[in-house]
Amino acid sequence: MKLKIPYGLSNFRKVISEGYTYVDKTAYIPALEEQGNYLLLLRPRRFGKSLFISMLEYYYDQRYAAEFPALFGQLAIGQQPTALQNSYQVLFMEFSGIATTSAEDIYRAFTTKIQLALERFLEDYAYPRTAIQQVQQCELPHEKMEAFFTQVRGNKLLLLIDEYDHFANSILADNLTHFQSIVGKGGFVRSFYETLKAATQRGALDRLFITGVTPVMLDSLTSGFNVVENVSLHADFNAAIGFTHQEAASLLQPLADDCGLSLESLQQTASDWYDGYWFNSQANETLFNADMLLYFLKNFDRQRCRYSKQMLDENIASDYGKIMALFHIGNREASYQVLDELIQHGQVEAQQQRKFDLEKGLDRDDFISLLAYMGFVSLQGETLTGQIFGIPNQVIRELYFQYFKVELALQAGLTITRNCQATSLASVGGCQ
């Protein structure tokens, strides 16, 4: 039986209604509701966050109540829905794709994202045209939000924010002072989140769920937005996003059956390349990066029953220059020493940090923790004094650590040949 693989898809309704294979994560809905009203869940890039937040949108939105049986009837939450099912007007925002070439570009794009999201919401829920005009008349992002909350007063509102830090991480890599000016006190991003905080306090915003990669931006907002609870390192939510070994096996089994292959062998290969993420040492197991495994399944040569010649997904690669710029926040030499330890020994020890103080820069624990949030390393165990972090899988080793190895050599004034393989940096333009 050939599965219809939803690689690259992030719209829950499309995945379900068009018969794509869906790994059911709806059982986490009751736990999230019990955990709190204002939550943040962080995971590395292309881990499955957008599909998860889309699932929440279709579950909670009043507009999709009639579709609930079709969308959720065969899933865990469809058997035991919560009292909040389809009970909200849902405002959805996402902050990917914002150009960071200048302060003006960032401000303009950020404001446009907010304006369009608010207009779409007011139109979808049939608010009067005057409500949209009230928002349009305001210039600053936080003023638009204040006008919006005035217009929707009395309605039950859920705000979903996807990729909240996408643009901010890029700014941080380019210019720490610039980052602090827009996110710190008096910055337009901080003012935006201060407005959300005020809305939670007044009861205008009943629930909030945010996804992103690192907590750096929210940490910089400090008291401007201290109502959100970060559940990213909570054992109960370790597997909320990403695939468990059992979930991976369910995806690999049809491939094993069709090609007469050993499931154990398939799973071992997939584990070597795409597994290894662990966000709490009390959690039961490591996780597969969802997009990586779906990429593997989609690109497996089923006619010849052979692995794809390209085992890694180029789409997960980040801008190498921006990554290296992060190493210069704080003690640059200490950061390079961490990379050297990882390349030479495969692991490092640190204290996992949940907050970062960019005023003092990043120390060793901060830097390793930031690498973990970004998915370049992952938790592997604990000692009496800290946690052990290591490179999670072959994809990360080839996409990033081959590059880091070259950078370390350049820093040391050495000349080395880049390791160009079909599955390595040659595929992303990294070989010379």
pLDDT exceeds cutoff 50 at 74: yes
What pLDDT is recorded for position 333? 85
pLDDT, tens digit, 9 for 90 and up, residues 306-363? 998 889 887 777 667 777 777 777 778 888 899 999 999 999 999 998 888 777 778 8
% the chain with pLDDT above 70: 94
User: Architecture of 12-237 per CATH?
Assistant: 3-Layer(aba) Sandwich (3.40)
Pairing of strands 229-230, 38-42: parallel
Thinking of the domain 317-428, which architecture would CATH place it in? Orthogonal Bundle (1.10)
Distance CA 296, CA 316 (A): 13
Q: Which residue intervals of the chain bear CATH 1.10.10?
A: 317-428
427: confidence class by pLDDT, cuts 50, 70, 90: very low
Q: Reply yes or no on whether the pLDDT at 219 is more than 80.
A: no
**Range of lowest pLDDT (25-39, 159-173, 384-398):** 159-173
* 3-state SS assignment for residue 308: coil
Model confidence at 181, pLDDT cuts 50, 70, 90, reads confident
Q: What is the reported pLDDT for 35? A: 98
Amino acid 384: pLDDT: 87
Q: Yes or no: say if 86 and 59 are a contact pair by the CB < 8 Å rule.
A: yes
Under 8 Å CB-to-CB from 241, ≥6 apart: which residues? 25, 41, 43, 47, 48, 49, 52, 290
Burial of 366 (0-12, 13-18, 19+ CB in 10 A): buried
Q: pLDDT by residue (tens digit) across 38-58?
A: 999 999 999 999 999 999 999
* Residue 58, token pair as written in the block: 């279709």
Residue 1's pLDDT is what?
62
Instruction: Please determine, for residue 80, whether its predicted confidence score (pLDDT) is greater than 90.
Output: yes
Check whether 33 has a pLDDT greater than 70: yes
Task: Give 348-370 as a DSSP string.
Answer: EEEPPPS---TTS-B-HHHHHHH
Question: What is each CA distance from 283 to 34, 222, 277, 341, 379, in whole angstroms?
Answer: 19, 29, 11, 26, 11
The first and second tokens of residue 326, run together, are 């992060």
- Helical segments of 176-308, H only: 176-183, 188-202, 216-221, 245-259, 263-274, 290-299
Kind and range of the H or E element at 94? strand 89-94
SS3 73: coil
The helix (run of H) or strand (run of E) holding residue 339 is: helix 332-345
Q: What is the DSSP string of 368-418?
A: HHHHHHHTSSEEEEE-SSSEEEE---HHHIIIIIHHHHHHHHHHTT-----
Q: Which residues make up the CATH 3.40.50 domain(s) of the chain? A: 12-237
Cα–Cα dist 220/90, whole Å: 27
